[in-house]
């Protein structure tokens, strides 16, 4: 009341009208400011912990709400703008996303229609898997990373890192996905038209589990948008600032940590209602018949 009225009247006039001593008003105002300051200090401490734990991967909530959702999961009552203000004031920023469009494959010769485009959004895990390859630069030479994602949960279910861009990198990633999961007949496996995905080893593995192979239209990266989006996050959140690892061993270590520990188990996804892929899949496991 006093705070609102004082915008039009002086403190002296308001206190006189309400019969309140000015010293009492100033004491109340000071206590209120101190309580807010203590609350902000406590919130800032938690923000710093989250920022460090996520290795600077969570940015300002004005651009991405994941920091606010992570704080709320830890019991912090906070608003997006308040968190953004504290982060900006104390110089807490996320790694910046960079425009990065590598070409890791050559167009394959074997045509394959885009089955994914004909399907609706998957309603459960293991209905649609998507895969792609990117390159990773190190001062010792290139590495090539292939991943297989479950399109429903966005979980990385298989991956491989190799020194050469041969079909074996994709075959290994797919093999690891199959060791983890037991997809039913009719699984859709989608990728671009790279020669790795047209190889005999991939076709044999997919035929063995009676999966349907799907490929993007020639030259259209948007047909594999979810895999492209994954690599966009990977490059911003896992690669060094200059996009070049010092050694291949460092690259292998950092990529393992990102995929196996951070991405699947800690990273919140807005498309999953701010759950991790592991948490999201657990809801389907709970609904499965005993």
Element holding 35 (H helix, E strand): helix 22-53
3-state secondary structure of 269: strand
Q: How far is CA 64 from CA 68, 69, 126, 227, 283, in A?
A: 9, 10, 28, 20, 25
Decide if 228 contacts 132 (C-beta within 8 A). yes
Q: Which pLDDT score is estimated for 209? A: 95
pTM of the model: 0.73
Higher per-residue pLDDT: 285 or 183: 183
Reported as a single tens digit per residue, the pLDDT across 243-266 is 999 999 999 999 999 999 999 999
Higher per-residue pLDDT: 230 or 80: 230
- Count Cβ neighbours within 10 Å for each residue of 13-31 and write b for 16 or more, e otherwise: ebbeeeeeeeeebeeeeee
- Angle between helix 167-180 and helix 200-208 axes, rounded to 10 deg: 20
Bridge partners (DSSP) listed for residue 107:
194
Residue listed under structure tokens 């990117």: 134
> Tokens in use for 191?
């990728």
Residue 260 has what DSSP assignment? I
136 burial level (CB within 10 Å; 0-12, 13-18, 19+): buried
Most confident listed range (38-47, 78-87, 158-167): 158-167
Residue 234 has what DSSP assignment? H
Residue listed under structure tokens 């479950």: 150
Which domains, ranges and CATH numbers included, belong to the chain?
2-89 (no CATH), 115-287 (3.30.420.10)
pLDDT class of 186 with cuts at 50, 70, 90? very high
Q: How far is CA 103 from CA 20, 57, 83, 118, 142, in A?
A: 73, 25, 38, 26, 13
- Angle between helix 66-73 and helix 22-53 axes, rounded to 10 deg: 100
Reported as a single tens digit per residue, the pLDDT across 74-130 is 888 888 888 888 888 888 877 766 554 545 555 555 568 899 888 888 999 999 999
Residue 143, number of CB atoms within 10 A of its CB: 21
């Amino acid at each position: 009341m006093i705070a609102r009225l004082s915008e039009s009247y002086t403190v002296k006039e308001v206190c006189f009208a309400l019969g309140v001593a000015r010293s009492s008003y100033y004491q109340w105002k000071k206590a209120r400011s101190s309580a807010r300051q203590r609350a902000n200090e406590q919130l800032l401490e938690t923000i710093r912990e989250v920022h460090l734990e996520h290795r600077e991967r969570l940015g300002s909530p004005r651009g991405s709400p994941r920091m606010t959702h992570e704080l709320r999961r830890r019991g912090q009552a906070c608003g997006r703008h308040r968190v953004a203000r504290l982060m900006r004031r104390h110089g807490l920023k996320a790694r910046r996303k960079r425009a990065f469009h590598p070409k890791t494959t050559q167009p394959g010769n074997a045509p394959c229609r885009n089955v994914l485009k004909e399907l609706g959004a998957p309603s459960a895990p293991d209905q649609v898997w998507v895969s792609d390859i990117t390159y990773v630069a190190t001062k010792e030479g290139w590495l090539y990373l292939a991943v297989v994602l479950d399109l429903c949960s966005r979980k990385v279910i298989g991956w491989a890192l190799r020194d050469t861009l041969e079909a074996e990198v994709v075959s290994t990633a797919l093999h690891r996905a199959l060791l983890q999961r037991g997809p039913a007949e009719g699984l859709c496996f989608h990728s671009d038209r790279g020669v790795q995905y047209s190889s005999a080893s991939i076709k044999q593995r997919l035929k063995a589990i009676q999966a349907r192979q799907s490929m993007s239209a020639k030259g259209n990266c948007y047909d594999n948008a979810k895999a492209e989006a994954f690599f966009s996050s990977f490059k911003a959140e896992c690669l060094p600032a200059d996009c070049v690892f010092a050694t291949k061993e460092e690259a292998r270590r950092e990529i393992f940590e990102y995929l196996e520990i951070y991405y699947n188990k800690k990273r919140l996804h807005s498309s999953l209602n701010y759950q991790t892929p592991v948490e999201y899949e657990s809801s389907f496991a709970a609904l499965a018949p005993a």
